[in-house]
C-alpha cells in the first residue's frame, strides 16, 4: 500500500466512520469476551480505537502506513505505529481484540493468508471486513467473497460469528460496506458468554448489499445510454 488518500479524504472519512464505529462496537461489546485492549491494523486516523477508548478500553494500538498525517490522528500519537501492511508487523504483546476493516482488499492475494495469520496472532477475537468482488474503490487489488476470508480464518482455528450484519443491514446512516462485510471471528474454544453460535447466522455469508447492487446497476444503465447515444450519433453522420 502506498500514499493514495488525501488529507480531505481522512477528515471526511473520520466524520462518516465515527457513527459506524459507535454502533458496531456497541453491538460487539455486548457479545464478545471482555475487551481491555485492542489493536487496529489499517487504523487510518484511529476512529475505531478512539470509540473503544471512550467505552473504557484502556490499551489501544493503531497500525497503518506513512500516508496517515500525525495531526489528523484522533488517538495519542504514541499509540500509532507506522508500518508496511504488505509485510509482517511485529508487536510486543497480544490484545483482547484485533480490528481490520476494509483494508485487506488493498493487499496482494499472496499476502492474504499471512495477513490473517498476523491478525489472529495479535488477538483471540477479530473484527474484520474486506471488499467483495466488484465492490470497487481505490486500489482494490484482492476483492473476495466473505466466505473466502472465513476459510482463511478457519484454517487458523478461528470461527466466524455473523451476528453484526443483521443488526446494521438497514441502517442508512452507515456506509454499505460495513453493513455488507463486517464479521467477527474468535479462536475456536474461546468462552464467549451470550455469543450466538458459530455458523448460526440468519443470512448467507456471501451477500451484496442493495445499495451496492443499485449503484452498479445505475452505472451500467448510464454506460448503456451513452453507448446507444454514441451509436445513434455515429449512424446519423
Per-residue pLDDT tens for 7-33? 666 666 667 789 999 999 999 999 998
Q: In Å, how far are 16, 80, 185 from 69, measured between CA atoms?
A: 18, 11, 30
Which CATH number does the domain housing residue 102 bear?
3.40.50.150
User: What is the rounded average pLDDT of the residues 35-57?
Assistant: 97
* Distance, CA of 198 to CA of 136 (rounded, Å): 29
| Cell of residue 139, nine digits | 486500489
pLDDT tier for residue 233 given thresholds of 50, 70 and 90: confident
* Distance, CA of 148 to CA of 144 (rounded, Å): 6
- Of 41, 61, 35, whose CA–CA distance to 50 is shortest? 61
Give the gyration radius of the chain's Cα atoms: 19
Q: Classify burial at 191, counting beta carbons within 10 Å of its beta carbon; exposed 0-12, middle 13-18, buried 19 or more.
A: exposed
When divided into structural domains, the chain yields a total of 1
Mean pLDDT rounded to a whole number for the chain: 89
User: What is the rounded average pLDDT of the residues 89-113?
Assistant: 97
In a domain, 236, yes or no: no
User: What is the rounded average pLDDT of the residues 180-204?
Assistant: 84
Q: Which residues contact 122 (CB under 8 A, 6 or more apart)?
A: 39, 41, 91, 94, 95, 98
In a domain, 70, yes or no: yes
DSSP state of 159: E
Q: Tell whether the model's pLDDT for residue 3 goes beyond 50.
A: no
In a domain, 108, yes or no: yes
pTM of the model: 0.87
| Cell of residue 200, nine digits | 448460526
Q: Which domain holds residue 193?
A: 7-206
User: What is the rounded average pLDDT of the residues 193-207?
Assistant: 77
Instruction: Please write the tens of the pLDDT for every residue from 34-44.
Output: 999 999 999 99
**CA 153 centroid distance within chain:** 15
* Distance, CA of 118 to CA of 41 (rounded, Å): 10
| Cell of residue 231, nine digits | 451509436
Contact assessment for residue 100 and residue 149, using Cβ atoms and an 8 Å cutoff: no
* Distance, CA of 185 to CA of 136 (rounded, Å): 25
In a domain, 31, yes or no: yes
H or E stretch at 59: strand 59-64
User: What is the rounded average pLDDT of the residues 119-146?
Assistant: 95
In a domain, 51, yes or no: yes
Q: Is residue 180 classed as helix, strand or coil in its secondary structure?
A: helix
In a domain, 133, yes or no: yes
In a domain, 187, yes or no: yes
In a domain, 221, yes or no: no
Q: Locate cell 489501544: which residue? A: 60
Instruction: Please write the tens of the pLDDT for every residue from 138-175.
Output: 889 999 999 999 999 999 999 999 999 999 999 999 99
Amino acid at each position: 500500500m502506498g500514499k493514495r488518500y488525501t488529507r480531505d479524504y481522512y477528515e471526511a472519512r473520520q466524520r462518516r466512520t465515527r457513527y459506524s464505529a459507535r454502533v458496531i462496537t456497541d453491538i460487539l461489546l455486548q457479545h464478545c469476551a471482555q475487551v481491555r485492549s485492542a489493536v487496529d491494523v489499517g487504523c487510518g486516523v484511529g476512529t475505531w480505537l478512539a470509540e473503544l477508548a471512550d467505552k473504557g478500553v484502556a490499551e489501544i494500538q493503531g497500525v497503518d502506513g506513512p500516508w496517515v498525517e500525525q495531526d489528523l490522528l484522533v488517538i495519542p500519537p504514541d499509540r500509532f505505529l507506522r508500518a508496511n501492511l504488505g509485510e509482517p508487523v511485529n508487536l510486543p504483546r497480544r490484545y483482547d481484540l484485533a480490528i481490520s476493516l476494509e483494508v485487506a482488499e488493498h493487499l496482494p492475494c499472496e499476502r492474504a493468508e499471512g495477513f490473517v495469520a498476523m491478525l489472529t496472532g495479535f488477538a483471540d477475537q477479530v473484527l474484520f471486513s474486506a471488499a467483495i468482488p466488484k465492490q470497487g474503490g481505490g486500489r482494490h487489488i484482492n476483492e473476495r467473497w466473505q466466505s473466502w476470508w472465513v476459510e482463511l480464518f478457519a484454517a487458523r482455528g478461528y470461527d466466524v460469528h455473523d451476528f453484526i450484519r443483521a443488526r446494521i443491514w438497514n441502517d442508512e446512516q452507515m456506509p454499505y460496506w460495513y453493513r455488507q462485510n463486517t464479521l467477527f471471528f474468535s479462536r475456536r474454544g474461546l468462552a464467549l458468554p451470550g455469543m450466538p453460535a458459530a455458523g448460526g447466522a440468519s443470512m448467507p455469508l456471501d451477500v451484496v448489499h442493495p445499495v451496492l447492487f443499485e449503484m452498479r446497476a445505475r452505472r451500467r444503465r448510464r454506460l448503456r445510454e451513452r453507448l446507444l447515444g454514441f451509436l445513434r450519433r455515429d449512424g446519423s453522420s
